[in-house]
Amino acid sequence: MKLLERIAAVGARLHLAPATVFCYQRWVREFLVFHRREGEWIYPAALAAPEVEAFLTALARERRLSASSQNQALNALVFLYKQVLAEEVAADHLGRFCAERARRPVRLPTVLSQGECVAMIEAIRAGSMQRLMVELLYGTGLRVMECCTLRVRDVDFDRGQIMVRDTKSRRDRMVMLPGALAG
């Protein structure tokens, strides 16, 4: 089985999202291309901390990637060595490395005021499914996908709670049902 296929198989076994597996495959491919010498591929087990460090530093210095992209690449390589190649390399194969890291810009978040939120909700036709969904998102802090997959049986009007199932972290949780929506 080829390396990228092994990444897909291990990712599926660990229930990683398909987008995550695809992203990890892309970063591992870039890592291997980065260390390709004279047309010869170097198997990842022969590469260790200095090579990972050189790759991550090149991403920051030469390609000027954002900190989040560099973190994705790092996570992909850690996944490769700790999950995919775990039986072929020692547990401390990567050891410690100190790559140059991209800097995250410090930005204040843009937040709507309470009045702006009310105006946005009021702009949606009353009684529509879209308005109910926006009110649920605003009042409960649900993620969009959680709101889209919400079922009537997950809403407990007596207790004023909503059971949120199959969340991003794969754990069910309870959120409070806003009083304005319960009536």
Question: Residue 148: enclosing H or E segment and its boundaries?
Answer: helix 144-148
pTM exceeds 0.85 = no
Q: Are residues 121 and 80 in the same domain?
A: no
Find residue 162's DSSP bridge partners.
Answer: 155, 175
Q: Which of 69, 50, 1, 34 is nearest to 42 (CA)?
A: 34
Q: Are residues 119 and 51 in the same domain?
A: no
User: Strand, helix or coil at 96?
Assistant: coil
Q: Are residues 31 and 77 in the same domain?
A: yes
Whether 99 maps to a domain, the answer reads no
181/183 Cα distance (integer angstroms): 6
pLDDT digits (tens, 9 = 90+) for 113-150: 999 999 999 999 998 999 999 999 998 989 998 899 89
Q: Are residues 67 and 129 in the same domain?
A: no
6/84 Cα distance (integer angstroms): 7
Whether 108 maps to a domain, the answer reads no
CATH number, residue 147: 1.10.443.10
